[in-house]
Structure 1
């Protein structure tokens, strides 16, 4: 197996039978304003925008995989085998949540 870095914080581990998709840590977390009072609104918006781009790249990469291909999705410290469709749906939900956070910060 070899590791191939693609896009913003996205990595694929290519094996014989399946692909593993994992978001690589991008430094810092994506918390709320209450959790990080020293961060400005602009810094929070920038982090959420980066998070959104990462999800968009993940969705684009998943859309280019064959629907019969198995992927592994990280949940905590464990990888679970799933389908491309389920992984895409999960990434879309994360993208929608990030958009909602950004919209909340804008108002």
Structure 2
């Protein structure tokens, strides 16, 4: 299970801005790790799957996601995913987002 793409597909987001002309979000303020976590969210990964992929604790993934959501001015991971999808042409990690594929975890009964 994993999120395809590599860190080399990512920009830190701090180079060249990333300000959306229509909504004013500063997409360039997102950190590299926040972008990686958001790519996982867009791909449908759980916090646990994202944590495993990047060798992090689930709590750390949640902290990165919370920080990204605050910067995107949204209140849920669904809203964050929709913002990212809506802004994918401007996102500093477009190559990773377009190639993100996650195998879903088996559902527990």
Taking structure 2 as the reference length, the TM-score comes to: 0.31
Which structure carries more strand by proportion? Answer: 1
The structure with the largest alpha-carbon Rg is: 1
Which structure carries more helix by proportion? Answer: 2
Name the structure, 1 or 2, with higher relative contact order (CA <8 Å, separation 6+): 2
